[in-house]
């Protein structure tokens, strides 16, 4: 199969590309604004390109994918608050452009990265795909609108499609700089013997999922025999998650064990747009295409810590 990965030089994308190469022909489009050149697999077809570039359609057609995994995005909540117009352009219009290009090139299936942020502050947990959506920040709003843009472009084209609502993904190759994900930021700090900074009281929870499980979800969805875009409200959406809440305090305890850090933990005020609790029910993905997260949190954090230790 010829599989194109947008954002394939980034955190999730590069892990996916490395898993695909050898079994499939893999193409990567990445503008390298967040992705790293060192993440590009030498056996992959690669083009440096912004997904909003007018030449996107021609570049996608040049590769000629059978399937597309769309991971390129503006992924920072903080940046979405600073510049919501740019956030919406990349996440909504960028997704629309990728979907249009994929359909024009004859791709039979497209999986697009969405986010737990579409739900906002939950009324009950774990959240199902049909739970109310009330995004707490422009990032969540743009990811929800991107799901509609994907459906608008691909419904009726014959191409199958789905939006994967990732919970909090962590693992090797995640960037700890800026807003790179709390596990990466904490692991980098604690591996260097520096105190991590907890925003809020540490009781807030997230559904942490290992990147290897996310890669497995993408692979299993690509090879699924049935259609992903089932009928009904939120039909093409799937939670990719563990269904379990882990508090930031619990995360710190896991990381202390993994890194050997015994120092203090700093605290700062809670950040604008952060929800207090989050966990997503992954049952639909299990029923729909046979996927379930299988990585225990402690061993996944251990693997992540070992990767970071090898980088210092």
Cα-based torsion angle of the residue sequence 200, 252, 177, 143 in order, rounded to the nearest 10 degrees: -60
Q: How far apart are CA 144 and CA 119, in angstroms?
A: 9
State yes or no: is 139 an active-site residue.
Answer: yes
Distance between CA atoms of residues 190 and 255, nearest Å = 8
CA nearest to 209, candidates 282, 132, 309, 286? 282
DSSP 128: P
Instruction: From 136, 84, 135, 139, select the one nearest 113 (Cα to Cα).
Output: 139
Q: What is the DSSP string of 132-147?
A: --B-SSHHHHHHHHHH
Closest CA to 304 of 247, 257, 264, 246: 257
3-state percent helix, strand, coil for the chain, nearest multiple of 5: 40, 20, 40
Active-site residue identified among 119, 139, 210, 238 = 139
Q: Does residue 8 come out as left (phi exceeding 0), alpha (psi in the -120 to 50 range) or beta?
A: alpha
Q: What is the set of active-site residues?
A: 139
């Amino acid at each position: 199969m010829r599989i194109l990965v947008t954002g394939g030089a980034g955190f999730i994308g590069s892990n996916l590309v490395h898993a695909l190469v050898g079994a499939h022909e893999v193409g990567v489009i990445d503008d390298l604004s967040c992705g790293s050149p060192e993440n590009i697999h030498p056996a992959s077809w690669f083009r440096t390109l912004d997904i909003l570039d007018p030449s996107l359609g021609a570049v996608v057609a040049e590769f000629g994918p059978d399937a597309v995994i769309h991971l390129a995005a503006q992924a920072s909540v903080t940046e979405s608050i600073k510049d919501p117009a740019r956030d919406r352009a990349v996440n909504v219009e960028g997704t629309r452009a990728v979907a249009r290009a994929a359909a024009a090139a004859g791709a039979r299936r497209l999986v697009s990265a969405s986010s737990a942020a579409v739900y906002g502050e939950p009324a009950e947990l774990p959240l199902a795909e049909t739970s109310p959506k009330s995004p707490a920040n422009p990032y969540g709003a743009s990811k929800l609108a991107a799901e509609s843009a994907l459906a608008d472009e691909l419904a009726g084209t014959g191409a199958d499609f789905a939006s994967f609502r990732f919970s909090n993904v962590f693992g090797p190759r995640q960037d700890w700089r800026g807003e790179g994900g709390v596990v990466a930021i904490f692991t980098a700090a604690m591996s260097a013997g520096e105190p991590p900074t907890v925003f809020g009281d540490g009781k807030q929870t997230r559904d942490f999922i290992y990147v290897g499980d996310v890669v497995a979800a993408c692979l299993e969805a690509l090879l699924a025999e049935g259609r992903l875009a089932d009928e009904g409200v939120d039909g093409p959406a799937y939670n990719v998650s563990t269904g379990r809440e882990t508090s930031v305090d619990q995360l710190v305890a896991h990381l202390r064990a993994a890194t050997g850090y015994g120092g203090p933990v700093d605290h700062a005020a809670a950040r604008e747009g952060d929800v207090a609790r989050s966990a997503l029910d992954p049952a639909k993905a299990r029923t729909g295409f046979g996927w379930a997260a299988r990585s225990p949190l402690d061993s996944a954090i251990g693997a992540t810590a070992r990767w970071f230790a090898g980088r210092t």
